[in-house]
Amino acid sequence: MNYYHLACSLNQGEAYIEREQTREGLSLDLNSGQPLRFTPGDLELYHHRKEKKLTDLLAVGSYLVVSPKMKEVLEQFDADYLEFFEVPVFTTWNKKQHLYYLVNVLDPLDCTDLEVSSFDFDWDGERLDEVRRWIVKEERIGTRQVFKDRRIYGEVFVGEAAKQALEAAKLTGMRLVPSHAYKKGFAASSVKREYLLDCRQVQTEAEFWQLYLDVTYPNLAEKFERTLEAFEQAITGEKLPGYPGQCDIRIVNTAHLRHTPFYQKLQQIAEYANRFNFRNIRVLLEG
């Protein structure tokens, strides 16, 4: 069975919550696995940067905050182990309120295989601080599709069925990292994103750029000019429209495009990018 870490993709173009406001005296313990005592108004979230788009999964510290669309997918699985609480997200530049949901995952599992995983314990000798390799005991997960591990603070993991449903919904702001590649602490700083652009259905340059935007969700996507020249500029500067963040971009199933001027120019850019390794971005053209 395959399992995945459900994480925010955190590209340059995505929103993160700059400020949260909780009711005085409220303690949101989302790691105990116990039902949460929560009432409307207990938590408010604020997003201040107009150029950063709200996505289906938001970066809010150790909270899991999702859109109604993402909630619909998650609640298909393990409904008895999930609590959803309405949370308003305010975009301050236009004074609008957006409906999101705080997710509480109940009954964390003890599924880390301590004998074969590579890690350092936290100060308490129970939770994992640094994780270099994470191996799970599948028999302790059973049929669960959305779960937490009691030794890993704040993280949510999903099974294969949930992963496929999340991807099919084309949700934004998330990435699904295979459990064997999950890292925590200093080890996580060396992890690089990988984007797969499957060109099987791409027939035109416009379709290619739409695929690029849908998969990578780059910086200032709405201002990206959708040309090879703009892409060449984007990979050299992190503040430019179209910048995808540090990553490997794998472009596959391109045989039907190979004799087009577009492909030949893309090949030149890939060779140029990989030779100079701009901003730790690689472009890989494959069959």
DSSP string, 92-158: TTTTEEEEEEEEEE-S-B--B-TTT-EEEE-TTSSSEEEEEE--B-GGGTTT-SEE-BTTSTT-EEE
Which of the four pLDDT bands, split at 50, 70 and 90, describes residue 11?
low
Please check whether residue 158 is in contact with residue 166, taking contact to mean a CB–CB distance below 8 angstroms.
yes
Please state, in angstroms and rounded to a whole number, the distance separating the CA atoms of residues 55 and 117: 33
> Residue 87's pLDDT is what?
93
Mean pLDDT of 200-207: 91
Mean pLDDT of 80-99: 92
Please state, in angstroms and rounded to a whole number, the distance separating the CA atoms of residues 93 and 239: 21
> Residue 12's pLDDT is what?
55
Residues 55-73 have pLDDT tens digits of 999 878 778 899 999 999 9
Which of the four pLDDT bands, split at 50, 70 and 90, describes residue 13?
low
Please state, in angstroms and rounded to a whole number, the distance separating the CA atoms of residues 128 and 145: 22
| Percent of the chain surpassing pLDDT 90 | 38
Of the ranges 8-17, 58-67, 149-158, 265-274, which is most confident?
149-158
pLDDT at 134 over 70: yes
Local structure of residue 54 (DSSP, 8 states): P
Lowest mean pLDDT among 115-119, 138-142, 251-255, 279-283: 279-283
Of the ranges 23-27, 67-71, 88-92, which is most confident?
67-71
pLDDT at 37 over 90: no
Which comes out higher in pLDDT, residue 207 or 246? Answer: 207
| Percent of the chain surpassing pLDDT 70 | 94
- Other C-beta atoms closer than 10 Å to the C-beta of 286 total 11
Please state, in angstroms and rounded to a whole number, the distance separating the CA atoms of residues 53 and 98: 12
Which of the four pLDDT bands, split at 50, 70 and 90, describes residue 190?
low
Residues 235-281 have pLDDT tens digits of 887 678 888 877 889 999 999 998 899 899 899 888 888 887 776 78
Which of the four pLDDT bands, split at 50, 70 and 90, describes residue 53?
confident
The residues, ordered by sequence, that sit 6+ positions from 103 with a Cβ below 8 Å of its Cβ are 64, 65, 66, 71, 74, 82, 83, 84, 156
Phi, psi at residue 231, to the nearest 5°?
-65, -40
Q: Is pTM beyond 0.85 here?
A: no
Please state, in angstroms and rounded to a whole number, the distance separating the CA atoms of residues 220 and 175: 19
Structure-token pair, residue 165:
């449903």
Select from 258, 269, 268, 283 the least CA-distant residue to 202: 258
Mean pLDDT of the chain: 87
Mean pLDDT of 37-51: 85
Select from 7, 35, 30, 3 the least CA-distant residue to 111: 3
Phi, psi at residue 148, to the nearest 5°?
-115, 160
